[in-house]
């Protein structure tokens, strides 16, 4: 068994945008009795948030599991890498994968949650709709 690691960092001014994915490679037997490779997603972390306090948007999606049922249709390493490339993901080694994950989760945990008391009282701004109602 082998694990393949991939990442995608989008560089946008004022935002953190990172996706990391880990695929487990396993040997399986096809219906014809041939030994082929099978890939199972072990982890996917998508994180996006603003660096500014003036504009706040935060998103995290973290899916992982030892016995995940999410698989990939590729039956070769080459095909897996090609498909990940089509999704904008690049191969990475385990050390950097785990470093990206650790930093991304730490940055996300530093983000403050919305303080709902900030929205009490009278609205102090006007929103103009150009197209619409």
pLDDT tens digit sequence for 112-128: 777 777 777 777 777 77
DSSP 103: H
**From CA 52, how far away is CA 13, in angstroms rounded?**
10
Residue ranges making up the domain that contains 72: 2-119
Residue 23 has pLDDT above 90, yes or no: yes
Residue, of 111 and 10, whose pLDDT is higher = 10
- 14 in a structural domain: yes
Write down the pLDDT at residue 65.
84
Strands 71-72 and 90-92: unpaired
Question: In total, how many domains does the chain have?
Answer: 1
Give yes or no for residue 50 having a pLDDT over 90.
no
C-alpha to C-alpha distance for 125 and 54, rounded to whole angstroms: 15
Phi first, then psi: give them for residue 7, nearest 5 degrees.
Answer: -145, 160
- At residue 101, φ and ψ (nearest 5 deg) are -65, -45
DSSP string, 112-133: PPP-GGGG-S---S----SS--
Residue 20 forms part of a structural domain: yes
Q: Is the pTM of this model over 0.85?
A: no
Distance CA 39, CA 26 (A): 6
- Asked if residue 68 has pLDDT above 60, the reply is yes
At 75-100, the pLDDT tens digits run 788 998 999 999 999 999 999 999 99
40 assigned to some structural domain: yes
Q: Which of 12, 19, 22 is nearest to 50 (CA)?
A: 12
Whether 128 is covered by a domain: the verdict is no
**Length reported for the chain:** 133
Q: Answer yes or no: is 89 within a domain.
A: yes
Partnered with residue 92 across adjacent β-strands are: 5
Tokens of 77: 């390493």
- Quote the DSSP letter at residue 5: E
Residue 40 has pLDDT above 60, yes or no: yes
Q: How confident is the model at residue 15 (pLDDT cuts 50, 70, 90)?
A: confident
pLDDT-derived band of residue 133, with 50, 70 and 90 as boundaries?
low
């Amino acid at each position: 068994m082998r694990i393949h690691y991939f990442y995608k960092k989008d560089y946008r001014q004022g935002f953190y945008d990172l996706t990391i994915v880990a695929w487990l490679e396993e040997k399986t037997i096809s219906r014809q009795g041939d030994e082929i490779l099978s890939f199972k997603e072990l982890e996917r972390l998508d994180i996006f948030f603003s660096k500014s306090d003036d504009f706040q948007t935060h998103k995290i999606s973290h899916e992982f599991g030892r016995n995940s049922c999410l698989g990939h249709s590729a039956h070769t390493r080459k095909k897996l890498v090609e498909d990940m490339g089509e999704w904008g993901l690049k191969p990475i080694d385990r050390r950097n994968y785990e470093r990206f994950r650790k930093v991304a989760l730490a940055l996300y945990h530093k983000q403050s949650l919305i303080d709902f008391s900030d929205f009490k009282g009278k609205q102090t701004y006007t929103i103009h709709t150009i197209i619409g109602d």
